[in-house]
Amino acid sequence: MTRRQLIHTVAMTPALLTLTAQIRAQDKPAIKIERAEVFPALYPMAGYFKFFTGAHNAAGRPAAFLKLTASDGTIAWGQAVPIAKWSYETLETSYTVLRDYFAPAIIGKDPHDLPAIHAAMDYEIAPSFSTGMPITRAAVDLAVWDLLGRIHKKNIAELWNLKPVSQLTLSWTLNPRKLDEVEELIEAGRTRGYRHFNIKVAPDPAFDVQLTKLVRKLVPDTFLWADGNTGYEPATALEAAPKLRDAGADVLESPLKPNRISGYQQLVKQGALPILMDEGLVSPVELEEFIKLNMLNGIAAKPSRCGGLSSNKKQIELCLQNKLMWLGSGLTDPDVSLAASLILYGAFGQTKPCALNGPQFLVGDVLKTPLKIADGKIEVPTGPGLGVEVDEDKVKALRPKNM
């Protein structure tokens, strides 16, 4: 068996095979991916967010668009959302990999054969510990799902035989540098109709406890989600978790780096707060292993982090099968990637506030009709595919001057 055949076999999970077989069984004519175009972009930003600071991040929110054209003329879009301060993937690497590796690999492929498309990407960019270039790969996965929906004139949730909720509640992100900023930041969210808040914590537990207490005091009815972004050391996290609980936190996300296996096990055993994992959950394989190792109580879902909808849908299903918590989160996703998250979380009926802060920090959009947000809630797109229509001129207008 060749390496390509082996990768293809591994990629063909039973659930995905069944799904694509059902879609193909609708007797549509043979359709191939005929053209793939890549566009780099920088969305303007408003407000301070710690991941978008420094020489390479302050210019705006990077994104790489993938436009697919099928042999029947159908057009679809996907989007990768690299962040250099969150991952090793940058706008430059995402753009190059999409243009020179992933796009050529999927030309001529049947969009119904998602396992073959993912196998082709694995062949071009070899997996290391897990899926290679998962944030970049998400652009391909989203674009193919968008293409399938448009070919079959169905929303992606309909392709999954799921009926999504009509809207999701959003959570406003607080990442103050000083406590005297908190009240103003909360008021900014309230002014836009938000009633739920998530906070960035770590590495200073003393500051984090004061922050948690203050937010709980100012918004006592909020679902208070604390996200460590892997910033604690194990001993510090074990000390901080009970204090954060007592201060009013409801969950603690990613307190440690994902390779701190024993630290996560100790936190789960301690039981002070539900422990969610985010960074490190790239494919369903890691989640299966982390569940077996009793490292988590749930996940913060992010299609943009883990290679797209195919991977993240399976991760949510694993949580449901194992009676674990899952919350909807994101990577400050712009509109196209955000639409994918909304469809996924809506399809599985998420009722908890979702930490999707793209609308909070990003200015402008590339859609013909922007996503609808009111009173801290966002409508789940219902149109074909990703349910949104991309304006290519707007995409081109966001192209960085140096690319």
Q: pLDDT per residue over 187-215, tens digit each?
A: 999 999 999 999 999 999 999 999 999 99
Which of 295, 311, 299 lies closest to 350, judged by CA? 299
Instruction: Say yes or no to pLDDT of 229 above 50.
Output: yes
Give the C-alpha separation, 396 to 76, whole Å.
16
In a domain, 399, yes or no: no
In a domain, 398, yes or no: no
Of 123, 153, 183, which one is at a domain's C-terminal end? 153
Q: Name the band, by pLDDT with cuts 50, 70 and 90, for residue 10.
A: very low
Starting from the edge strand earliest in sequence, which strands make up the sheet with 167-169, in order? Answer: 167-169, 377-379, 373-374
Tokens matching residue 149: 């929906």
In a domain, 346, yes or no: yes
| Count of C-beta atoms within a 10 Å radius of residue 340 | 30
Of 94, 125, 153, which one is at a domain's C-terminal end? 153
Tokens matching residue 159: 């392709």
135 and 238 part of one domain:
no
Give the C-alpha separation, 310 to 312, whole Å.
6
138 and 217 part of one domain:
no
142 and 177 part of one domain:
no
Full domain range(s) for residue 28: 3-153
Give the C-alpha separation, 132 to 111, whole Å.
21
90 and 224 part of one domain:
no
Report pLDDT digits (tens) over 36-64. Answer: 999 999 999 998 888 888 777 678 999 99
Report pLDDT for 384.
98
Report pLDDT for 250.
98
In a domain, 73, yes or no: yes
In a domain, 359, yes or no: yes
Tell me which of 27 and 133 has the higher pLDDT: 133
Report pLDDT for 12.
44
67 and 200 part of one domain:
no
278 and 372 part of one domain:
yes
117 and 186 part of one domain:
no
148 and 173 part of one domain:
no
Which CATH number covers residue 249? 3.20.20.120
108 and 171 part of one domain:
no
Report pLDDT for 252.
98
Report pLDDT for 4.
47
Q: How many domains does the chain have?
A: 2
Tell me which of 153 and 25 has the higher pLDDT: 153
Counting residues of the chain whose pLDDT is more than 70, the rounded percentage is 92
Instruction: Say yes or no to pLDDT of 325 above 70.
Output: yes
Tell me which of 334 and 21 has the higher pLDDT: 334
Average pLDDT estimate for 144-164: 97
In a domain, 63, yes or no: yes
Report pLDDT for 193.
96
| Count of C-beta atoms within a 10 Å radius of residue 308 | 29
Phi, psi of 169 (to 5 degrees): -85, 135
Report pLDDT digits (tens) over 61-93. Answer: 999 999 999 999 999 999 999 998 889 999 999
Report pLDDT for 85.
87
| Count of C-beta atoms within a 10 Å radius of residue 50 | 13
Report pLDDT digits (tens) over 101-115. Answer: 999 999 999 999 999
317 and 182 part of one domain:
yes
Q: Name the band, by pLDDT with cuts 50, 70 and 90, for residue 8.
A: very low
In a domain, 160, yes or no: no
| pTM of the complete model beyond 0.85 | yes
210 and 261 part of one domain:
yes
Of 153, 185, 211, which one is at a domain's C-terminal end? 153
In a domain, 350, yes or no: yes
Mean pLDDT of the chain: 93
How many residues belong to the chain?
A: 403
Instruction: Say yes or no to pLDDT of 17 above 80.
Output: no
107 and 182 part of one domain:
no
Report pLDDT for 338.
98
Report pLDDT for 22.
57
Which CATH number covers residue 139? 3.30.390.10
Least confident of 9-23, 97-111, 163-177: 9-23
